[in-house]
Amino acid sequence: MQITYFFRKSRPGAFSIENLFLNVQKQFPKSVIINNHYLSKPSAGIFNRLLLCFEAYKTQKGINHITGDVNFIAAFLNKNNTILTIHDIESLLRQNTLANILLKYFWLQMPVARVKWITVVSETTKQKLLHHVSIDPEKVVVIPNVISQEFTYVPNNFNKIKPTILQVGTKYNKNLERTIEALNAIPCTLMIVGKLSDEQVKRLKRNNIEYINKIGLTDEQLREAYAESDIVTFVSLFEGFGMPILEANATGRPVVTSSCSSMPEVAGDAALLVNPLDVSEIRSAFLSLIENDVLREKLVVRGLENVKRFSNKAVAQMYLDLYKKM
């Protein structure tokens, strides 16, 4: 069996898709021949994208797997030999009207029609895809993300006086603004991974939040950030999956996350679920974790069990089963 993986052009700070499939590939038997092709140009502008389509056409061999972000190259690949992985839907539907029409066609409607199978990372993403695109549900297979084996349990002496709370991501959907409001007057250090906007900095200062901002972390530095934290917050408005939940689980840190989108599906019973629009509910969750030792320990134990569902071996077998159907 030969599989050609198509990856977007490498760019600093963007490696989640690449890490997912590289970790899965390590579990494949030696009989599987792997060709990882990183596209030579960024996905920007009509001319570049046309060149990428021709590049993909010339490179395709065996089973083609489009790993995400460059869905449009499906137009130039052999339909019966191609699988497309879709990680997220919302990011393609949050533009102005013309951009939304173009994105929906070239990243959803056309690609899903031009491939044999589609994989999505959660049942939530599958249902949203079926809502926006007319397609046979049997063509869409849910295969979750994996948790890197590099994330391992790190013992922690919880700081009840002034805990460090880790927030991964600063984009709109990460809901940092409400997290800041919820932490007002709670003694803590908010460790934020991702570039802060001027407005977010102003909000932190208005709420007297002591914070640390980390940008452009390596994989190792990100793992260190989890290990340095006492609590992980991920009260996102929407997610295709929600990897920080699992990364916190694997490190042994209690998590506060949202009761919507894919997050309950990923977290199971290993996190405190809150309404991400309700600042008071988010605040109560933080206070519960800070004050309740038994609750924290319970969530840590459940988290270590939860990550087993997303092991490299388990997810790799799901992909192998699908490849065999080709």
Q: Concatenated DSSP letters for 190-227?
A: EEEESPPPHHHHHHHHHTT-EEEEE-S--HHHHHHHHH
Task: Please check the confidence at residue 88 and state whether its pLDDT lies above 90.
Answer: no
Residue 19's domain comprises 2-146+311-325
Contacts of 292-301 with CB under 8 Å at 24 or more apart are: 293/158, 295/254, 296/158, 296/254, 299/254, 299/255, 299/270, 299/271, 299/272, 300/252, 300/253, 300/254
Task: Please check the confidence at residue 97 and state whether its pLDDT lies above 90.
Answer: no
**pTM (2 d.p.):** 0.83
Domain shared by 110 and 196, yes or no: no
Domain shared by 59 and 192, yes or no: no
Nearest in space to 209 (alpha carbons), one of 176, 174, 255: 176
How many CA atoms are closer than 13 Å to the CA of 272, on its beta-carbon side?
Answer: 24
Domain shared by 8 and 57, yes or no: yes
| Block residue for tokens 């809502």 | 131
Judge whether 158 lies within some domain: no
Domain shared by 136 and 183, yes or no: no
Domain shared by 220 and 320, yes or no: no
Tokens of 69: 């972000």
Judge whether 234 lies within some domain: yes
Domain shared by 57 and 32, yes or no: yes
* Mean pLDDT, residues 15-33 taken together: 89
**Within 10 Å of residue 234's Cβ, how many Cβ atoms?**
27
Q: What is the CATH number of the domain that holds 295?
A: 3.40.50.2000
For 267-293, how does the pLDDT look when each residue is reduced to its tens digit (9 = 90+)?
A: 999 999 999 999 999 999 999 999 999
Domain shared by 174 and 298, yes or no: yes
Domain shared by 181 and 139, yes or no: no
Judge whether 89 lies within some domain: yes
> What totals of helices (H) and strands (E) does the chain contain, helices first?
13, 12
